[in-house]
Amino acid sequence: MDSKGTWPFIASLVIGLLYLSVGIISLISGIGIIPPIPFFGDIINAFMIIIVGIVYLTGAKPLMKGDREAFAFAIVGSALAAVLFILQAIVIGTNFLGWILQLNDWIDWNPINDIVPSLWLFVIVLLTIGFLKITNRIGGQKGIFPLGE
């Protein structure tokens, strides 16, 4: 493994394994194999999180070899994670609106119940990308996300 492929490989592997493991735990919790776990969403969310994890992990091996085209997997994985984050933010926004309007189904709404893995996992992705961007360890000199450069 060359030095250019080390950090992207590690980031893709860690994020992929994190998404995959959280998705599997959420899935088996949603199916009822293990007791329900707070903040782990539902079965559909679990499947979507598993897909994001698979996308990241698919790009990990080529990144280990230094294949620059494998950055596409990290970008697509990040984009999918962002879409899940935005969708959950919209759900929280609509639930908040229903609560503000005091609609019957939202009177007892608690925002804590809407904190699902697609929210907090994406924060981890952003922190990882930010760390690698700051340290210039991802994608070479300019980084994979050359913002403002």
Q: Please write the tens of the pLDDT for every residue from 95-132.
A: 999 999 988 888 888 888 888 899 999 998 888 877 77
Phi, psi dihedral angles at 84 (to 5 degrees): -60, -40
Placement of tokens 């994608």 in the chain:
139
pLDDT in tens, 62-82: 888 878 788 889 889 999 999
56 neighbors 16 (Cβ within 8 angstroms): yes
Classify 41 in phi/psi space as left (phi over 0), alpha (psi -120 to 50) or beta: left
**Integer Cα distance of 81 and 5 in angstroms:** 22
Helix, strand or coil, per DSSP, at residue 38: coil
Q: What count of Cα atoms within 13 Å lies in the side-chain half-sphere of residue 12?
A: 30
The answer to whether the beta carbons of residues 5 and 66 sit under 8 Å apart is yes
Which pTM was predicted? Answer: 0.81
What percent of the chain has pLDDT above 90? 40
Contact call for residues 8 and 48 (beta carbons, < 8 A) = no
Q: Evaluate whether 33 touches 68 at the Cβ level (below 8 Å).
A: no
pLDDT beyond 90 at 134: no
State how far the alpha carbon of 68 is from the alpha carbons of 32, 78, 81, 114, 136, in Å: 41, 16, 21, 37, 15
